[in-house]
Amino acid sequence: MNDIARDLLAWYDLSARSLPWRGIRNAYATWVSETMLQQTRVETVKDYYARFLARFPDIASLAEAGEDEVLKLWEGLGYYSRARNLHRGARQVMAEHGGELPHTAAELRGIAGIGPYTAGAIASIAFGERAAALDGNVIRVTSRLMGIREDATAPSGRRRLEAAVLDMLPQERPGDFNQALMDLGSGICTPGTPDCDACPLQARCDAFAAGDAESLPNLPVKRPPKEELWDVLILRQGDRVLMRRRTERLLQGLWVFPMIERGAASGLAGRVRRLTGLRLRGLSPRGEARHVFTHKVWQMRLFDAGADGEAAAPWQWFTPEEMRALAIPAAMRAAREAALSPQRETEAAGEDVSHI
Ligand code: SF4
């Protein structure tokens, strides 16, 4: 075993985080946890992981479920394409692999939604393959440790990082080694100023010796997310509220209220009519909400109104009880709360809302 692996694993044996998905040899559980952990904090994932595994304890039960139920269990965790892909992947494993995940990173990459990171994590943790698993933490630690200063997102930088991790990976315990790198990156070799005095690899670290750890990894500056301005409408008929299932890539399969992008020349009432087939009756503001996605921000004004007429497809009416069973994204949380609370007194019927 090389010196870095020996020192890192000795540290890991003393300091490993105790996490519900660790210490179990179950490739499916590793798949679920690693999918949930992408872009998401460990503390947030714990409850979702427990609920998901309780409802879908194995690949077969996940494959048999409907997408709505899978998305409902994922509600609030964000990045819903992960849930849809996990579901599709489970069906693929049932159809093509007899219900058992393949054992190598190369084969795992052929499953829907399993990219190089997840494939490396499953293959190393569940099947003991010497496979690299490059997440943000591992990229940061490896860039600093090995002094890799080229753009970590460029293909050549990526290849160097992967080769460096493969060089360090020991024959024994490759899964623990990968998880140790992740733990080091999350607790000690953190973004910004790392805690080098607590690091078991300080004596072997290129960036520590060079004094430039804070500037690594070399990542291009991200563009700020683009702001979009929306009016979100809670449209009511009796005790029912209007929603539709999104087919767009963003939040696909989740249920949303009517949304009108602000800034168009035509009035709100006419645009609601074209969007839903309904005539607005009265309108009252219900506050504002903001939701940040990776590449965009939705800045939303919420409105409550009655609506007359027949709703056009794909719009559907839901009672509060029915709405509670739908998978509704966190972006719609404020609107959902408003929809579930009584409608405020609306302005006079027939009000001219064309300037909103
Ligand atoms: S010495 Fe510092 S920069 Fe180097 S790996 Fe350890 S924490 Fe990171």
Tens of pLDDT along 55-98? 999 999 999 999 999 999 999 999 999 999 999 999 999 999 99
CA of 220 to the centre of ligand 1 (A): 21
117 in the same domain as 76: yes
348 pLDDT more than 70: no
135 in the same domain as 37: yes
Q: Residues 165-169: what's their mean pLDDT?
A: 96
Ligand 1 atom with the shortest distance to the CA of 188: 7
CA of 125 to the centre of ligand 1 (A): 24
**CA dihedral of 290, 294, 296, 300, whole degrees rounded to 10:** -20
Ligand 1 atom with the shortest distance to the CA of 195: 7
Domain that holds residue 162: 3-215
303 in the same domain as 159: no
CA 308 to chain centre: 38
- For atom 2 of ligand 1, which residue has the closest CA? 196
The percentage of residues in the chain with a pLDDT greater than 70, rounded to a whole number, is 95
246 in the same domain as 277: yes
CA of 17 to the centre of ligand 1 (A): 18
CA gap 267, 280 in Å, rounded: 12
* 349, part of any domain: no
52 in the same domain as 193: yes
Q: How confident is the model at residue 1 (pLDDT cuts 50, 70, 90)?
A: confident
CA gap 56, 87 in Å, rounded: 11
* 267, part of any domain: yes
Residues 6+ apart with CB under 8 A from 218: 143, 148, 149, 150, 151, 152, 157
267 in the same domain as 308: yes
253 in the same domain as 169: no
Residue 233 CA: distances (Å) to CA of 80, 253, 257, 285, 352: 23, 19, 6, 9, 16
Q: Residues 150-172: what's their mean pLDDT?
A: 96
What pLDDT is attached to residue 356?
A: 37
Mutate to test the pocket of ligand 1, among 3, 143, 208 (most ligand atoms within 8 A of CB): 208
Q: Residues 116-124: what's their mean pLDDT?
A: 96
What pLDDT is attached to residue 351?
A: 33
Q: Would you call 96 a catalytic residue per the annotation?
A: no
What are residue 316's phi and psi, to 5 degrees? Answer: -140, 155
- For atom 8 of ligand 1, which residue has the closest CA? 189
Strands (DSSP E) found in the chain: 226-237, 240-245, 255-256, 259-261, 279-292, 296-308, 316-318
Ligand 1 atom with the shortest distance to the CA of 194: 7
* 346, part of any domain: no
CA of 146 to the centre of ligand 1 (A): 10
* 322, part of any domain: yes
Residue 22 CA: distances (Å) to CA of 43, 90, 175, 190, 254: 14, 21, 10, 22, 31
Two structure tokens written together for 309: 């007429």
CA gap 218, 154 in Å, rounded: 10
31 in the same domain as 169: yes
CB atoms within 10 A of CB 319: 11
Give per-residue pLDDT as tens, 218-232.
Answer: 998 888 899 999 999
* 331, part of any domain: yes
Query: Is residue 242 a contact partner of residue 316, using CB atoms and an 8 Å limit?
Result: yes
Sign of the torsion angle spanned by Cα atoms 40, 44, 47, 50: positive
177 pLDDT more than 70: yes
Q: How confident is the model at residue 340 (pLDDT cuts 50, 70, 90)?
A: very high
Give per-residue pLDDT as tens, 241-261.
Answer: 999 999 999 999 999 999 999
* 22, part of any domain: yes
CA of 27 to the centre of ligand 1 (A): 31
Q: Residues 104-109: what's their mean pLDDT?
A: 97
What pLDDT is attached to residue 6?
A: 97
Ligand 1 atom with the shortest distance to the CA of 140: 8
- Could you give the number of structural domains in the chain? 2
345 pLDDT more than 70: no
Which of 215, 249, 265 is a domain's end point?
215
Mean pLDDT for the chain? 92
What pLDDT is attached to residue 3?
A: 93
* 115, part of any domain: yes
Strands (DSSP E) found in 199-246: 226-237, 240-245
Give the CATH number of the domain where residue 146 resides: 1.10.340.30
* 355, part of any domain: no
- For atom 1 of ligand 1, which residue has the closest CA? 202
144 in the same domain as 210: yes
Give per-residue pLDDT as tens, 3-61.
Answer: 999 999 999 999 998 999 998 889 999 999 999 999 889 999 999 999 999 999 999 99
Global pTM value: 0.83
245 in the same domain as 194: no
189 in the same domain as 48: yes
Residues linked to residue 185 through DSSP beta bridges, in sequence order = none
What pLDDT is attached to residue 344?
A: 58
Burial class (CB in 10 A: 0-12, 13-18, 19+), 205: buried
